[in-house]
Amino acid sequence: MPLIELKNIYKDYPLDGFNLQILKNISLQIEQGDFVAIMGPSGSGKSTLMNILGCLDVPTSGNYLLDNLAVEKLSADELAEIRNKKIGFVFQGFNLLSRTSALENVELPLVYANVEPKMRTARAKAALESVGLKDRMQHMPNQLSGGQQQRVAIARAIVSGAPIIFADEPTGNLDTKMSIEIMQLFSKLNLEMGRTIILVTHEEDIASYARRVIKIVDGEIHSDKRNVK
């Protein structure tokens, strides 16, 4: 059974008295342990698709099964619980708390999950070590490079043990060298730790790290291909 299954997903938004159709009849499956890149030009619907897959939004119509749960039938509280337990997010802008250390930033999802303090700190330290930041745990975000800040964000995404990582243009604010390092880290999380990675990008070289590339054009799947490694 696939980890993720979308069937005939549509997404509309009301605009000036009519419905603007963003996604049209999207159907796809993603297996546990896959590494998928979603590509498309600006306005293609790829970010809307990511928001639906990440349980940040719900479809107008269609069915979404996540680990055999019918997402479109869940309440806002149930969606929040799914995000906390099953999903980690990494964004282009890092989204770190500026006056909080790297360690405290990574602990944050565990605070929301009511993990007791000693366990919380131990798990956050282990996550930071796994992304190569053993010596930067007490640093504030403004004391870290862009690549290091994104590593903190990745540690925060994996600290809860979530099986799925969504990454929205995670290298958009990084130079080429840092981008390569971050994508190598995602590959490690996928191959060595078994995390399912779903990545939104507009860059072909970044998408080349994925095993599968889905291209969205005008709200529809234009192509769905496996990368030859």
CB atoms within 10 A of CB 11: 23
Length of the chain, in residues: 229
- Per-residue pLDDT of 102-159, as tens digits, reads 999 999 999 888 899 999 999 999 999 999 999 999 999 999 999 999 999 999 999 9
Q: Is 174 exposed, middle or buried (0-12, 13-18, 19+ CB in 10 A)?
A: buried
DSSP 141: G
Task: List pLDDT tens digits, range 24-83.
Answer: 999 999 999 999 999 998 889 998 999 999 999 889 999 999 998 899 888 888 888 888
Structure-token pair, residue 31: 């297996």
DSSP secondary structure letter of residue 174: S
Sorted by where each starts, the structural domains of the chain and their CATH numbers stand as: 33-55+80-226 (3.40.50.300)
Q: Among all chains, which residue has been given the structure tokens 């809307």?
A: 48
Q: Helix (H, G, I), strand (E, B), or coil: what is residue 213?
A: strand
pTM over 0.75: yes
